[in-house]
Amino acid sequence: MPDGTLKRLRAGMQGPTPPKAPKVPSDGTVGVVTQARSRRAWAEIDLDAITHNARVLSRLVRPATLCAVVKAHGYGHGAVSVARATLTGGALGLAVALVDEGVELRQNNVHGPILLLSECGADAVDAAMAYGLTPTVYTAEGIAQFAQAARMLGQRTSVHIKVDTGMHRVGAAPADVPALVRALVEDPLLRFEGLWTHFPVADGDSAEDRAFTVRQLALFDGAIADLARADVHPDVIHAANTAGAIVFPQARYGMVRCGIGLYGYLPGDTVGAAFSTAAGGQHLRPALSLRARVVSVRTLAEGERPSYGRMRALPQRSVVATVPIGYADGVPRALFSNGAHVLIGGRRRPLAGMVTMDQIMVDCEEDTSVQPGDEVVLLGRQGDEEITADEWAGLLGTISYEILCGIGPRVPRVVINAPEPTGGSITPPIP
């Protein structure tokens, strides 16, 4: 990456200063509804863990720079507070999926480069320009829309082009890249800043997956070489997600886009093994824990069948605790049938019946010490025990990304260990 670009990234001067606008009621939380302020269920977001993870990853990928992916409300953690924590930890830019996500960051005074990961629709181009977001384009129509908006606003904007090297979701075919770049270079108000691609199986365990990623890199390098022969050299070249940055060092180029790693998780055993080798004993820390409090306790006879469907008979006389969190909050019903546990008093406890929309019921067996007000940990650590998003993902046949992003908007996010005041943080649940 040229020195001038790196200096500009460090100074956080990408794009114009966004216009004054009313702040969205975010404060880094995730659409918290009013009644959630007094719920006895919440997610704790450890911003020190986010900052730590960003610092570990930014050091690991040097001399490439770190772009923090904070789309989907920061993977369910709260985009504004997560963005600030990653920048504190060494990220030099941010990435989002939607223009609205970038606008939310700008309206909450988050500065620095914000890359849009998909080409936006014509109706969002003006907002992207007004808030100094860096667009990704991969069609002639997308370039024309930004060129027109730039002329109307009298504003120059930097643009990235995405290349489809095999994922076949979005992006320009390698053969189409030269024409798209030419259109950018020839427009006086568009600046060709970046070229990038994306890996679908960089986290794969098989030789076939690894070979596919290597072929993607060859295609991408070919596109870079074609531009170089035309004396076109983008300032920023990027390809690697968290898995690619760790498993394929040659994919780091000038910048990497890390998502799941920032939140304390690695996508698969191959990535975990490569990270252990490369990180020199450093570890990532999960940043989100999902917690609640017991609201009701009753003792039920052996053979009773709690909850909807009466799916399971209690094997013995048991203390059953009711906890106010359910599938509307991102606790999937399938956790019951797949044998999930929660933590109460530092011990693993099975679910006593099917997860309901607003509540779960926990089999505490003969433990009469469990009382209303006791803390329940669904994700996170309590005493010597820990339940992770990876554990849930394994039970449910999915990935940790879906678990984290699936925690619903009515679960209040309570920020802890913030590197700086985040402003307007919600009141913690009533003990």
- The residues carrying an active-site annotation are 71, 308
What sign has the CA pseudo-torsion 218, 223, 229, 234?
negative
Which residues, other chains included, contact 205 with Cβ-Cβ below 8 Å and sequence gap of 6+?
Answer: 268, 269, 270
Query: Collapsing DSSP states into helix, strand and coil, what is residue 9?
Result: helix
As a whole number of angstroms, the distance between CA 330 and CA 342 comes to 14
SS3 category, 57:
helix
Would you call 169 exposed, middle or buried from its count of C-beta atoms within 10 A (0-12, 13-18, 19+)? exposed
Structure-token pair, residue 371: 């009382």
State CA 196 to chain mean position distance. Answer: 19
Largest Cα separation within the chain, whole Å, is 79
CA distance 244 to 274: 11
Distance CA 390, CA 203 (A): 15
Distant-in-sequence, close-in-space partners of 170: CB < 8 Å, separation ≥ 6: 118, 119, 138, 162, 164
Q: What are residue 290's DSSP bridge partners?
A: 43, 379
Which residue shows structure tokens 């006895």?
Answer: 40
Backbone angles phi and psi of 46, in degrees to 5: -90, 100
User: Nearest 5°: CA angle at 410, between 409 and 416?
Assistant: 80
Length of the chain: 431
Helix (H/G/I), strand (E/B), else coil: 25: coil
What is the spatial distance between Cα 238 and Cα 142, in angstroms, rounded to a whole number? 20
Please check whether residue 317 is in contact with residue 366, taking contact to mean a CB–CB distance below 8 angstroms: yes
Write the single-letter amino acid at 74.
Answer: G
